[in-house]
Amino acid sequence: MIAEIITIGSEITMGSTLNTHSKYISGKLLEIGIETYYHTSVDDNKARVKDIIKISLQRADLIITTGGLGPTDDDLTKEVITEALGLDLVKDIDMENNIKSIFDKLNKTMSNNNLKQALKPKGSQFLKNSIGTAPGILLSKDNRTIVMLPGPPKEMELMFNNEVLPLLHEDFNIINKSINIIGIGESQLEMRIKDLINKDPDIKIATFAKELEVEIKIVGKGKNKDIIENKVNNVIKILEDRFNEYIYGFDNVPIEAIVLNLLKEKGYKVGFCESCTGGLISSRFSRIPGVSEVFDRSIVTYSNNAKIEELGVKSDTLEKYGAVSEETAIEMANGLLTRNNLNLALSITGIAGPDGGTDKKPVGLVYMCIANKGISIPIKCNFNGNRESIQNKASIRAFFELRKFLLIND
């Protein structure tokens, strides 16, 4: 089944509202084995909406629209689709009474234009809107399924999950798994899994690049659950063998949560001393419930003086090697490690940009060090991107290196 998502609204095409609907719906459809081939956005113009609908009817089996179901004159989705399909709009008395009762409960006067929301294409069915007045619509015609959803995100998501997904879910078992990877680019990864893509019609494999991370999504679909589970597990085993050194987790569990669990298993207390990331590593870590069990302290030592005063970094080290150096990162981590209660310390120092880089030390150069009482391991990284991207990549890499350290060293 091929799906197309059409987001309707001038606020989207003008850039006033971020289009999150397409991402949300596509992800949910993939979980039940339906692929989305097209994302289309169009403004509140009747002729253009009609053109898009006609094009979509020629190339998609499932068409999902969002927006344009309200009571105003520019809410025209239902009317345009009805016209494009050559159908009539009919009044649904039950829905009209339902809309009236919503206003009565709110002690508000209903405008007559709200009654247009009780109209639907002949042969269609309404989809319940439990938190708004605009009902959705599901229509099947000429081997095409059209779903019309409201524009407000909360209304759309609730209706899609509660009303649409149960109707779309075919008589298949769907198994959806993810493998999460750091340290290898999406293009390089894809080259190494080409032999698996499209090898089995029951298995869909796709890659999704994130900030420094790649997700490999494996979706199995079939009538026999045991067979599909075996197929998915076999694919996962192959991928684990190929990318073992890069895999940090499964099913999109955040890497900082994985680090938290490893620290709990070992009974360790960790501390961070950050320069170029300015506390971002600590912020990500502290968002996880239960982190206080393993997280002792964090220090942002942005200036050289702070590195000297708070961590005992030698002024000679800073003068000879610079703040962004392996030597400074090592002294930062070991300086933090002298504090009580700490089993493990992670330091980070670098050049986030956009200024401050040189030929020898370019923007994006980052040094980390992970230290316990017996060993200090420095890590040199080079990241590209703008300041925010470099900081984000550095924080993710820090957790990845911390995970490796915890798995290897006691």
What are the tens digits of pLDDT across the range 237-273? 999 999 999 999 999 999 999 999 999 999 999 999 9
Nearest-angstrom CA–CA distance, 231 and 201 = 11
pLDDT of res. 256: 97
Give the mean model confidence (pLDDT) for residues 9-22.
Answer: 94
pLDDT interval class at 140 (50, 70, 90): very high
User: Residue type at 305?
Assistant: N
pLDDT interval class at 32 (50, 70, 90): confident
pLDDT of res. 169: 72
The CATH 3.90.950.20 domain(s) of the chain lie at: 255-407
The answer to whether the peptide bond before residue 354 is cis (omega within 30 degrees of 0) is yes
State pLDDT tens for residues 182-208: 989 999 999 999 999 989 999 989 999
Distances from the Cα of 354 to the Cαs of 86, 125, 274, 384, 395, in angstroms? 57, 55, 18, 11, 18
pLDDT of res. 171: 63
Nearest-angstrom CA–CA distance, 213 and 389 = 12
Q: Which fold has domain 255-407?
A: Maf protein (3.90.950)
Class of domain 2-167: alpha beta
Give the mean model confidence (pLDDT) for residues 95-111.
Answer: 85
pLDDT of res. 304: 97
The CATH 3.30.70.2860 domain(s) of the chain lie at: 173-250
**Ranked by mean pLDDT, which of 84-98, 129-143, 296-310 comes out on top?**
296-310
pLDDT of res. 174: 84
Instruction: Answer for the pair 341, 296: CB distance below 8 angstroms, yes or no.
Output: yes
pLDDT of res. 323: 98
Nearest-angstrom CA–CA distance, 249 and 312 = 36
Give the mean model confidence (pLDDT) for residues 45-69.
Answer: 95
Query: Interhelix angle for 387-408 vs 255-266, to 10°?
Result: 30
Distances from the Cα of 342 to the Cαs of 227, 268, 301, 318, in angstroms? 49, 8, 18, 25
Write the CATH number of the domain with boundaries 173-250.
Answer: 3.30.70.2860
In terms of residues, how long is the chain? 410
Is pLDDT at 234 greater than 80 in this prediction?
yes
The CATH 3.40.980.10 domain(s) of the chain lie at: 2-167
Give the mean model confidence (pLDDT) for residues 56-69.
Answer: 96
Q: Which among 31, 30, 23 has a CA at the least distance from the CA of 5?
A: 23
pLDDT interval class at 170 (50, 70, 90): low
Nearest-angstrom CA–CA distance, 133 and 110 = 11
Give the mean model confidence (pLDDT) for residues 12-16.
Answer: 94
User: Residue type at 400?
Assistant: F
pLDDT of res. 157: 96
Give the mean model confidence (pLDDT) for residues 72-79.
Answer: 88
Nearest-angstrom CA–CA distance, 53 and 228 = 35
Give the mean model confidence (pLDDT) for residues 74-86.
Answer: 92
Q: Which among 330, 323, 317, 345 has a CA at the least distance from the CA of 378?
A: 330
In this prediction the pTM is 0.75
pLDDT interval class at 375 (50, 70, 90): very high
State pLDDT tens for residues 317-373: 999 999 999 999 999 999 999 998 899 999 999 999 999 999 999 999 999 999 999
pLDDT interval class at 33 (50, 70, 90): confident
User: Residue type at 212?
Assistant: L
Is pLDDT at 83 greater than 80 in this prediction?
yes
